[in-house]
Chain A
Amino acid sequence: MVEDEEVRIGVYICHCGLNIASVVDVKKAAEEVSKVPNVVVAKDYQFMCSQPGQNIIIEDIKQHRLNRVVVAACSPRMHEPTFQKAVERGGLNPYLFEMANIREHCSWVHEKEKVAATEKAIKLVKAAIAKARLLKPLKREKVNVIPRALVIGGGIAGIRASLDIANAGFEVHLVETRPSIGGNMARLDKTFPTLDCSQCILTPLMVEVSRHPNVTLHTYTDVVNIDGSVGNFKVKLLKKPRYVDESKCTGCGTCITKCPWTAPSEFELGLGKRKAIYFEFPQAVPLIPVIDPEHCMYFQKGTCRACEKFCPTKAIDFNQKPEEIELEVGAIILATGYSLYDVAKAMPEYGYRKYKDVITGLELERLVSATGPTKGHIVRPSDGKEPKKVAIILCVGSRDEKHLRFCCRFGCVAGIKHAYYIVSHIPDAEVYICYRDIRTFGKGYEEFYERIRNYENIKFIRGSPMEILQDADGSLYFDVFDANTNRIVTLRPDLVVLETGIVPHPTFKEVAKILKCAVGPDGFALELHPKLRPTETSVDGVFLAGAVQGPKDIPDTVAQAGAAASSVIALMSKGYVETIPYVSSINEDLCSGCGICQPLCAYDAISLVKKEDGKQVAKVDIGKCKGCGVCAAACPSGAAQQLGFNDEQILAMVRTLTR
């Protein structure tokens, strides 16, 4: 493309079926813009993004010797890449293309003002033409992808994704903040709808991932920093001290038996106790204990050392320090999972943590588990007695405008499963499920619901209580309106199980801040497209698996983990990525070296360097630059310009729009 070559523009107005054409007079728009200087051809077509639509562009480039193309259609977020590829197939540089958004910015928002909408559409297209005149060819750079992946979070999502990548022959580093992998699934006793034992299906995967030659496990480790971009991320991990030498420990557990000090168990959600030196849970992977200095007498008072004395392999090391680990990876999977909504704080009306016999569904899982604090006996926390009447309340915090607006997507079936736990352990117990709607959308879920509904002693009450109260004798009671019978029922349950809503695990917030990846209004990771790109984030090379993206049950989590893994595998098999060309560029002749841009750059892409003649200028690292344009907006001398969006081009659009 020669600089002074005559500019020949082709303009294409898309009907988008009726999305645009029912509001904007597309024929008139095409006719109007055909009169604009440099426009050689202007056409309208039903679906520009279709194969025939793209072919029109390709044909016209050849036939009319076009050297710029403008498409007026939907948002560039949707189809810019489609048309860039078409332009490239037509033999032009793909960046000699400009898009006008006359759907989201025009027809969809001005449905009732057809005349004005047509005028606006014409203006938008004219502005795009004005910019197109000034477009210059841009180049994409190839960057090699380091064939190694980082997976953050060692729950079922992280484990499954790691195994898939490792099995494809690539190296994986799996990071978990707790001392063992397994995540929330390890806490479950059974999984719905098949009621197979959760541990039985999870532990083989835990062992497999830990033994896989391509997987390096970093448990009890946090991600402290991530730099770089797709293909080349530099990761800093911080391994917390276990005070146990992993190379010497055999996992015999003698230290734990001998330790005289106890603390509430994190894994048992405070329902049970653990020692000051402990395994996260009996099937922990790796089976290496951790010392909790807050509860260890040696750390607190300088005495005891029982674990050290009795360890047969001399693995206890009180001097262990936090260890920094640096890694270079090509891609990252976020699989940080979920935490329960803080119902104690946010919904005090339900008395969780105030009344001992109000527990969460996850806590019930621990009470049912054979390895749990009660060895699988369902008892009330207050007095250790078997509950004969149990109320299960669904949607606690979920689907609530004042709490979490979204559905947790597993509470209903979990609640139904929990009712089954109760009646199968205590056959003469009565269970009341208080629900708003029962949502059993997963495969086999409705059949499971049907099966549980047949139990005579499981009753479904359509309604939620407003509050749970405690009587003088310590017993719980509440009123609930049952829409099925049109009666207000007073229940006096021995135990109340709250199926609480879920929120992203707190580690996600940290990682999202480090990565600068988009977070949705609900706090979960925002996927690139809710339907078509559900595993990608706003940051190239960073993918999503499981509940980090939003509430999910196990089947969906595992499916998404596989999808995220295959995205990583695709990236690594190809071996390279092409950079975006819309980066910032500094005109060194204009740059005064004032440095205003440097601290403003959110991606740390700008540095100040001295040229040979001693002049200080700003320099852009195009590997890090994301093309946000902040430096260009801030630069007082116009030295910083964003390629493809430079001042001249933007001002040409503004001039056209304000004419």
Chain B
Amino acid sequence: MKCSSGCTAAKVVNNYRPHEIVALVKAGYSDELINSDVIWACSVCLKCVEYCPQRVSPFEVVMALRNESIARGRVPPKSFVEMAKSVLKVGHIQEPMYIMSKDFEEVSRTELGLPEMPKPKDFEKFKQHVLLVGFEKLKEVIRV
């Protein structure tokens, strides 16, 4: 239970306990987890991977549960949906934003003199591949 002692998310998300997730999977309760949002709380700090005395990697278990939940057509928390949508739209998890500077100016890449953010060249092919490597199910879920 070193994982739950040191887990970043466990300290701020009350019902997130990596050891418990691993134990539930081992005991055959994966479905409970797959149907719950809690598996999306992991902060990907990888401390559990590093310090688990049994070489279990709760992080990998959580990622597998997330993948499985997507494969079963469950909708992940909204922000993940937004990011995935954006990947399928522009190839990135979000598009360049206008940022408010300290002088209360709204600035963009262009105004800052930064070059344009590149997109995948053959976008249709890229999108097709992204769908192929695991976003297919998500397509139905988020209707893109």
A/B touching: CB–CB < 8 A: yes
List residues of chain A with CB under 8 Å of any chain B CB: 349, 395, 399-403, 436, 462-467, 478-481, 483, 486, 488
Whether B55 lies near A464 (C-beta < 8 A) is no
Of A349, A395, A401, A466, the most chain B CB neighbours within 10 A belong to A466
Shortest CB–CB separation between residue B107 and chain A, in angstroms? 37
Bound: A462/B2 CA distance, A: 10
Whether A464 lies near B54 (C-beta < 8 A) is no
Shortest CB–CB separation between residue B128 and chain A, in angstroms? 42
Bound: A602/B36 CA distance, A: 63
Whether B19 lies near A400 (C-beta < 8 A) is no
Contact of A464 among B5, B10, B11, B47 (CB under 8 A): B5
A-B pairs with beta carbons under 8 Å apart, 22 shown? A399-B53, A401-B54, A402-B55, A403-B53, A463-B4, A464-B5, A464-B53, A465-B2, A465-B5, A465-B6, A466-B3, A466-B5, A466-B47, A479-B6, A479-B11, A481-B1, A481-B5, A481-B10, A481-B19, A483-B19, A488-B5, A488-B11
- B55 cross-chain contacts in A, Cβ below 8 A: 401-402
- B17 cross-chain contacts in A, Cβ below 8 A: 481, 486
Bound: A488/B10 CA distance, A: 8
Contact of A483 among B1, B11, B53, B54 (CB under 8 A): B1
Shortest CB–CB separation between residue A188 and chain B, in angstroms? 27
Contact of B1 among A349, A399, A402, A464 (CB under 8 A): A464
Bound: A480/B5 CA distance, A: 4
- B80 contacts chain A at the CB level, 8 A cutoff: no
A-B contact count (CB 8 A): 49
Whether B6 lies near A467 (C-beta < 8 A) is yes
Whether B53 lies near A400 (C-beta < 8 A) is yes
Nearest to A479 among chain B residues (CB) is: B5
Whether A488 lies near B4 (C-beta < 8 A) is yes
- B123 cross-chain contacts in A, Cβ below 8 A: none
Shortest CB–CB separation between residue A381 and chain B, in angstroms? 25
- A401 cross-chain contacts in B, Cβ below 8 A: 53-55
Bound: A617/B2 CA distance, A: 64
Bound: A462/B53 CA distance, A: 15
Nearest to A403 among chain B residues (CB) is: B53
Bound: A479/B47 CA distance, A: 14
Bound: A399/B52 CA distance, A: 11
- A464 cross-chain contacts in B, Cβ below 8 A: 1-2, 5, 53
Bound: A403/B19 CA distance, A: 20
- Binary A-proximity of B1-33 (CB < 8 A = 1, otherwise 0): 111111000110000010100000000000000
Contact of B5 among A400, A463, A486 (CB under 8 A): A463
Whether A466 lies near B10 (C-beta < 8 A) is no
- B11 cross-chain contacts in A, Cβ below 8 A: 479, 488
- B51 contacts chain A at the CB level, 8 A cutoff: yes
Known: A402-B55, A465-B6. 19 other contacts (CB 8 A): A395-B53, A400-B53, A401-B55, A403-B53, A436-B1, A463-B2, A463-B4, A464-B1, A465-B2, A466-B5, A479-B6, A479-B11, A480-B5, A481-B4, A481-B5, A481-B10, A481-B17, A486-B17, A488-B10
- A486 cross-chain contacts in B, Cβ below 8 A: 17
Bound: A486/B19 CA distance, A: 11
Shortest CB–CB separation between residue A466 and chain B, in angstroms? 3
Nearest to A436 among chain B residues (CB) is: B1
Contact of A402 with B5 at beta-carbon distance under 8 Å, contacts A479-B11, A481-B19 already known: no
Across the A-B interface, give the 10 residue pairs with the lowest CB-CB distance, nearest first.
A466-B6, A481-B4, A400-B53, A401-B55, A463-B1, A481-B5, A480-B5, A466-B2, A466-B5, A465-B5
Shortest CB–CB separation between residue B52 and chain A, in angstroms? 8
Nearest to A465 among chain B residues (CB) is: B5
Nearest to A463 among chain B residues (CB) is: B1
- B47 cross-chain contacts in A, Cβ below 8 A: 466
- A467 cross-chain contacts in B, Cβ below 8 A: 6, 51
Of B4, B11, B54, the most chain A CB neighbours within 10 A belong to B4
Contact of A349 among B3, B4, B19, B51 (CB under 8 A): B51
Bound: A483/B1 CA distance, A: 8
Shortest CB–CB separation between residue B56 and chain A, in angstroms? 9
Shortest CB–CB separation between residue B126 and chain A, in angstroms? 40
Bound: A474/B55 CA distance, A: 32
Shortest CB–CB separation between residue A387 and chain B, in angstroms? 22
Bound: A466/B18 CA distance, A: 13
- A462 cross-chain contacts in B, Cβ below 8 A: 1
Bound: A479/B8 CA distance, A: 11
Nearest to A401 among chain B residues (CB) is: B55
- B53 cross-chain contacts in A, Cβ below 8 A: 395, 399-403, 464
- A395 cross-chain contacts in B, Cβ below 8 A: 53
